[in-house]
Amino acid sequence: MYNLYPHNVQLIKEWNRFAYFRDFFIAAVPIGICYGRVANNLPTPSAAVNLIKTNGISSIRLFNPDPESLKPFSGTGINLTVGVPNEELPSIATSTAAAAQDWLQSNIFAHVPADQIRYIVVGNEVFLKDPFYTPHVIPAIANIYEALKSIGLSEKIKISSAQAASILSNSYPPSSSYFDPNILPELNRLLQFLRDTSSPLMVNVYPYLSYINNPQFVSLDSALFRPGSSLNDQDLVYDNLFDQTVDAFIYAMEREGYGEIPVVVTETGWPTAGGEAATGENALAYNGNVVKRGLDNVGTPKRPETGVEVFLFDLFDEDEKDGNQFEKHFGIFGVDGVKAYDLNFH
């Protein structure tokens, strides 16, 4: 079992950690896309993979290890971030590392080579949003980590758990951010694991939601990276909400003693219909800026030399999603393969 509180750290582990953080600092960051499948009108996975390849997209996030979706990626060289669904966590958490290895083999590695897997995301927005599964997150991560370690993949495939922005009790200004005290015991265990294994905190960041839920405090210009009013916070200047949100997580981690952990944005995007300011023009403005910043390795005011790895949401509209109407309309491509707006990925 993975020891969540090791006292002796080997030199090789320190070097691997340095190399991982170094790569975050100096390398251009990948821009990925989430491939959600909560819809009844999607193209076949093979057609979707062809579309992804044609557009030069090199990184994809899959929320579920569905064999039908995974197999067409095999041999393409596309890096995959694969989710372990929340409902799978109890069985993985309460079993053994050997059982977790069997799960990885049958659900992922039987369908796509291990060298295409970049991240395994153990649970999505569990803390606060799906708290029934909260006690199972860390034990499931520990078993999966030991499973990967036993087959020599724990350094190559990083493990984390994607978090909603709502785990922050306060995010304004960024330097005053802190996590919800109710989840701190489990969250600190997660942060300890991330630091020990040189893995990133994964967060889902939606300036669109911040804007429509707080229009009296959040300007559309700030949400869309447009010039306008700026925020001065401890000698740092913020001119957009994306940077504010990412740095809010960094400050909150720093407050807990984990300020060096990288941040990966596992979901971000802008809808084209179904809500206030949900248009193709605004979606292009938002996602276009996110892509450009990634390509240029632009960091945040808190970490200016560190580009932020991002997964745009979503490849297609998902017409069977629950919730507000705009939730169905984050697709960058139509189901016919035509772009909803002229977004370039390089």
- Active-site residues: which are they? 125, 267
Read off the tokens for 115: 């060298």
HSE-CB of 112 using CA atoms within 13 angstroms: 25
CB 175 within 8 A of CB 234: yes
Q: CA-CA distance, 307 to 247, in Å (whole number)?
A: 12
Distances (CA, A) of 258 to 42, 94, 187, 198, 254: 41, 28, 11, 11, 5
Q: CA-CA distance, 186 to 125, in Å (whole number)?
A: 13
Closest CA to 24 of 263, 184, 290: 263
Coil vs helix vs strand at 306: coil
Residue 324: Cβ within 10 Å count:
14
Read off the tokens for 20: 């991982």
In one-letter notation, the amino acid at residue 141 is: I
